Amino acid sequence: MRKSHVKKFGVLITGAVMAVAIAAPALAWLPGRMTGGGSIIKPNGLRVTHGFELHCSPHGGGATDGPNNLEINWDGGNNFHLADLTFAACRDADGYDEEMPEAGFDTMRGAGTGSLNNVDGYTIKFFMTDQGEPGTGDRLRFAIYDSSGDRVFRAAGVLDRGNHQAHAA
């Protein structure tokens, strides 16, 4: 054993070193956009539809150039409309593959503000994937929060209709 200083996961470790430090892989955030829409079915049978065009930030989040649109509808008249996309990050994630056309990424995470049933002051957090054509296996997960931070609606699942399409920058 020898005394050493090792930087592991961004933390300096001082002491006896018996193993090689392994660096954590860096995430590659990619520019581009994702478009599409369709529906998922909640476990209680409720159909939730959506349509969108959302641009990725090349810096792993933050504001993006638009246009950025997202609309979600459910239960015979309830709807969420995105007003401002505040965070959008796209990357190539393990377990997903956008197939053709290749975009370099298959997963988008994002957040924004908007209106619920025409009332402003709501936020949304979302996750969506592109699993190739014709949309088989594409996923959507989102949660809508009121101004107090309480979750008011949530849905997640594999699309039963529709398609998500990742586009290179």
The position carrying tokens 């296996």 is 137
CA distance 123 to 86: 10
- Predicted pLDDT at 169: 80
Q: How confident is the model at residue 125 (pLDDT cuts 50, 70, 90)?
A: very high
- Predicted pLDDT at 11: 43
Write down the pTM of the prediction: 0.78
Residue by residue, what is the 3-state secondary structure of the chain?
CEEEEEEECCEEEEEEECCCCCCCCCCCCCCEEEEEEEEEECCCCCEEEEEEEEEEECCCCCCCCCCCEEEEEECCCEEEEEEEEEEEEEECCCCCCCCCCCCCCCEEEEEEEEEECCEEEEEEEEEEECCCCCCCCCEEEEEEECCCCCEEEEEEEECCEEEEEEEEC
CA distance 115 to 17: 55
Does the pLDDT value for residue 80 go beyond 70? yes
pLDDT in tens, 13-23: 444 444 444 44
pLDDT in tens, 9-61: 344 444 444 444 444 344 556 677 889 999 999 999 999 999 999 998 766 56
**Average model confidence (pLDDT) for the chain?**
79
Q: How confident is the model at residue 167 (pLDDT cuts 50, 70, 90)?
A: confident
